[in-house]
């Protein structure tokens, strides 16, 4: 796996925990969500400590494509139907404000921030794109319907958002982490109330934010029913054109593209982790067809958590844990929604009202089609006869021949060929030999 963002960049180094500590707020997880929470809480004068199990940014954040946009697929027409215009408008505003906050922060944190319009197109469904443009305009944002894109083929329709952006996620994250109270290589094994237990000591806190990508407390909040993981595959090409925007195919098996520093990034091949899908073949065959002169320089894959209704879970972890909060379910749109999460959770912890908090509250209804799909996958997987079972909740692991890993279709944990833990929610290795 060859990740673009980690190249030619020296990560900052933070010491590991050495003995017991006390803090007002403990953040577990140093990805985009955790670091941004620590950033705003510190700015508000709160005593805050962040515990990261590996190195900051070493989770999903290092494998993002870092497009900063409020254009999250064709979500708004669905959201208006499902939640009403007010909530859909608040989701839009939360993400537009996040783009603006990144723009302001990028003036202090060098991170190759660039203004770019974002676009979404459909090859065959003009009506879908027209509906989405209308929905977004009805929410007060000047999204534009067009049939013109910079791609070398014609499309049925596209929606364009002006004033969106892109950046280098790790340059930003490392800059934002400067001066924060961070312990790296400090893996939280469990929480007892609001005390975190690690191998190096206990961290006693008044409040805790779980920003571990997939929430790791299984007994609370039913996140193992509410989330699955989606894998996605990215290649970066030399000698390919600059598109002047970020752009995505609205189709489920479609690609997404952005440029960075002379490279063209193409992502796609998405599938539920543990299931079969297009993988690298999708962006590679797209590149071969439309940019045959280009050369592949980097290729990586990664995964994100998907919620039951397309909206992240940000807020109290569960009714039984009043001082524990969560930020997860970013649906491959976790740059702006991490920023929204960090503002919501900072306000919540400071006792301030946040207009956007009710949209993302994790205790909203679970009654969606996706719940039954998640339950069906889990039940089917549980009865699959095999000795190779996930150390998380015992699901049958599937061999991923393309990536040489054992993957769990239920919750998305992944292990290397010897059972070494690659991706959570599992907390330890699995026995696969």
Ligand X SMILES: Cc1cc2nc3c(=O)[nH]c(=O)nc-3n(C[C@H](O)[C@H](O)[C@H](O)COP(=O)(O)OP(=O)(O)OC[C@H]3O[C@@H](n4cnc5c(N)ncnc54)[C@H](O)[C@@H]3O)c2cc1C
**CA–CA gap between residue 215 and residue 289 (Å, rounded):** 40
Closest CA to 325 of 212, 210, 213, 223: 210
Write down the least CB distance from residue 275 to ligand X, Å: 16
CB of 281 to ligand X, least distance (A): 15
Q: For residues 119 and 211, which CB has a smaller minimum distance to ligand X in the complex?
A: 211
Per the structure block, which two tokens stand in for 294? 């280009």
Nearest distance from residue 383's CB to ligand X, in Å?
A: 29
Alpha carbon of residue 263 to chain centroid: 22
- Please count the other Cβ atoms lying within 10 Å of the Cβ belonging to residue 433: 8
The contact set with ligand X (CB under 6 A) reads: 28-34, 51-54, 58-61, 63-67, 187-188, 211-213, 216, 232, 234, 267, 302-304, 330, 332-336, 338, 424
Tell me whether residue 196 or residue 396 sits nearer to ligand X (CB atom): 196
Beta strands in 193-276 (DSSP E): 195-198, 201-210, 228-238, 246-249, 256-260, 263-272
**61 or 377: whose CB is closer to ligand X?**
61
Would you put residue 264 in left (φ > 0), alpha (ψ -120 to 50) or beta?
A: beta
Residue 30 or 277 with smaller CB distance to ligand X: 30
Nearer to ligand X by Cβ, of 50 and 349: the residue is 50
CB of residue 30 vs ligand X: minimum separation in angstroms?
5
Smallest distance, Å, CB 370 to ligand X?
Answer: 18
To ligand X, the closest distance from the beta carbon of 331 in angstroms equals 7
Considering beta carbons, is residue 157 or 169 the nearer one to ligand X?
Answer: 169
3-state secondary structure of 344: helix
Number of helices followed by number of strands (H, E) in the chain: 10, 21
Backbone angles phi and psi of 380, in degrees to 5:
-60, -40
Those residues whose C-beta lies under 8 Å from the C-beta of residue 298, and which sit 6 or more positions away, are 2, 3, 4, 7, 234, 235, 236, 263
Q: For the CB of residue 6, give the shortest distance to ligand X in the complex, in Å.
A: 13
- Cβ 246 to ligand X, closest distance in Å? 7
Q: Give 260 or 406: the residue with its C-beta nearer to ligand X.
A: 260
Least Å from the CB of residue 126 to ligand X: 25
What's the maximum distance between 2 C-alpha atoms anywhere in the chain? 61
Q: In what order do the strands lie in the sheet with 398-400?
A: 398-400, 405-407, 414-416, 421-423
Q: How far is CA 356 from CA 90, 138, 399, in A?
A: 6, 19, 41
Beta strand 114-122 with 246-249 is: parallel
DSSP-derived 3-state class of residue 193: coil
Residue closer to ligand X by CB (options 66, 396) is 66
Smallest separation, CB 301 to ligand X (Å) = 7
Q: Would you say 122 or 328 has its CB closer to ligand X?
A: 328
C-beta closer to ligand X: residue 396 or 424: 424
Cα–Cα distance for residue pair 240/283, rounded to 1 Å: 13
Locate the DSSP E strands across 173-226: 182-183, 188-192, 195-198, 201-210
Within 10 angstroms of residue 203's Cβ, the number of other Cβ atoms is 24
């Amino acid at each position: 796996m060859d990740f673009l963002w980690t190249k030619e960049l020296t990560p900052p180094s933070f010491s590991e925990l050495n003995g017991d500590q006390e803090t007002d707020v403990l953040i577990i997880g140093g990805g985009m969500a955790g670091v941004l929470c620590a950033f705003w809480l510190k700015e508000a004068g709160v005593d805050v400590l962040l515990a990261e199990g590996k190195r900051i940014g070493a989770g999903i954040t290092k494998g993002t494509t870092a497009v900063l946009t409020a254009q999250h697929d064709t979500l708004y027409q669905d959201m208006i139907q499902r939640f009403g215009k007010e909530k859909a408008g608040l989701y839009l505003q939360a993400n537009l404000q996040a783009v603006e906050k990144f723009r302001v922060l990028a003036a202090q944190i060098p991170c190759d921030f660039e203004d770019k319009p974002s676009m979404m197109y459909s090859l065959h469904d003009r009506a879908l794109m027209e509906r989405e443009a209308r929905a977004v305009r009805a929410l007060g944002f000047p999204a534009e319907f067009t049939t013109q894109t910079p791609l070398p083929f014609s499309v049925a329709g596209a929606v364009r958002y002006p004033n969106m952006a892109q950046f280098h996620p790790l340059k930003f994250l490392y800059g934002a982490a400067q001066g924060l109270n961070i312990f790296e290589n400090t893996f939280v094994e469990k929480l007892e109330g609001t005390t975190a237990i690690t191998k190096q000591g206990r961290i006693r806190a008044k409040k805790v934010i779980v920003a571990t990508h997939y929430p790791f407390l299984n007994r609370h909040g039913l996140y193992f029913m509410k989330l699955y993981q989606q894998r996605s595959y990215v290649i970066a090409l030399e000698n390919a054109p600059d598109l002047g925007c970020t752009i995505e195919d609205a189709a489920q098996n479609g690609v997404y593209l952005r440029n960075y520093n002379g490279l063209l990034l193409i992502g796609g091949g998405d599938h539920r982790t543990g299931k079969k899908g297009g993988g690298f073949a999708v962006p590679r065959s797209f590149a071969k067809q439309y940019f045959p002169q280009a050369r592949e320089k980097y290729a990586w894959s990664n995964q994100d958590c998907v919620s039951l209704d397309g909206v992240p879970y940000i807020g109290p972890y569960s009714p039984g844990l009043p001082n524990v909060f969560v930020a997860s379910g970013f649906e491959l749109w976790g740059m702006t929604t991490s920023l929204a999460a960090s503002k919501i959770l900072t306000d919540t912890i400071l006792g301030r009202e946040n207009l956007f908090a009710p949209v993302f509250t994790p205790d909203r209804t679970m009654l969606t089609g996706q719940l039954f799909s998640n339950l069906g996958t889990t039940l089917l997987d549980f009865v699959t006869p095999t000795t190779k079972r996930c150390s998380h909740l015992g699901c049958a692991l599937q061999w991923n021949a393309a990536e040489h890993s054992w993957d769990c279709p239920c919750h998305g944990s992944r292990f290397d060929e010897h059972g070494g833990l690659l991706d959570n929610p599992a907390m330890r290795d699995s026995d696969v030999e």
